[in-house]
Amino acid sequence: MANLLDQLKQMTTVVADSGDIHSIEKYKPTDSTTNPSLIAAAAKMPAYQSIVDDVLMDARRKAGSSATDEQVAAAAFKSLAVAFGRKILDIVPGRVSTEVDARLSYDSAKTIEQAHDIIQQYEDAGISRERILIKIASTWEGIKAAEQLEKEGIHCNLTLLFGLHQAIACAEAKVTLISPFVGRILDWYKQDTGKDYRGQDDPGVQSVTEIYHYYKKFGYKTVVMGASFRNIGEIVELAGCDLLTIAPKLLEELQTTEGTLERKLDPAKSAADPIERLVVDQATFERMHAQNRMAHDKLKEGIEGFSTALEDLEKLLTKRVAELGVAA
């Protein structure tokens, strides 16, 4: 009998949710995603010290002898996620998601500027923009930035997505892909209600199912990539979703679990979904976001968490510059 991971790959594009290159090599996903927390964690691993050091030494050479350690670290910081992305693209046949600084989540212009810089770094390394997804938080400003980037042929992955209003705004903006956060939705409801949820009762599973059927029913091209899983039960319930990005620990569990995997999400079933089409302009988006306590809380918490991870990474890089003592 086949394991669940092999069966899942037959109906869903499996994506590795990791900055750990060795895990990506092991599970052979089609694509890979990273985020600030994952990059910060990978940067601390001895196995990847050479990647970090190479980026720092290159930044030192470009900055010159007059640059302080902090200035060198800041320059390297802008290149580190791309450095990991380039390594990952040597392994996966598809795409890698590289995230814009979470601290720019409410600034469309600066988000676009940094997205251009990320794409330029990849293209300077000979990597086509077709293999890159620019990862942006699903604020109204982030969605508007992604809308402009998509018009320029720069594909986007809208992350930290927790509500249907965010998903509809992304689809109307014609973004390439969205990442609704299944596990973080579950976390919020467990804390808010004191209850546990399993299978189809999982609020995160229900949210992604609703978004998937809405997209397929109304013919949107934007694809859905479920993310942030807490257990393989959530993954089983979303089998058939366009893509699922899964952490190495859960990939391992899927690979070592045998059984029959039933397809739960299918475009053929979406037409029967009773949901009506909604128009989501900025005023509607803000109203729905304010009314959805879970989405409001988790978007704010997610941006703050990623921002903290970036600040920690900047400190780590500054410390490493001083340890290396690299001359210009």
Show which residues are catalytic.
Answer: 135
CA angle 57, 99, 131 (to 5 degrees): 90
Residues 5-35, buried b or exposed e (16+ Cβ, 10 A)?
A: bebbbebbbbbbbbbbbebbeebebebbbbb
CB contact set of 299 (below 8 Å; sequence gap of 6+):
137, 138, 139, 160, 162, 166, 289
Distance of CA 139 to the CA centre of its chain: 14
Q: Write out the two tokens for 307.
A: 């921002």
Integer Cα distance of 309 and 73 in angstroms: 15
**Pairing verdict, β 132-137 and 96-99:** parallel
Place of tokens 């320029």: 152
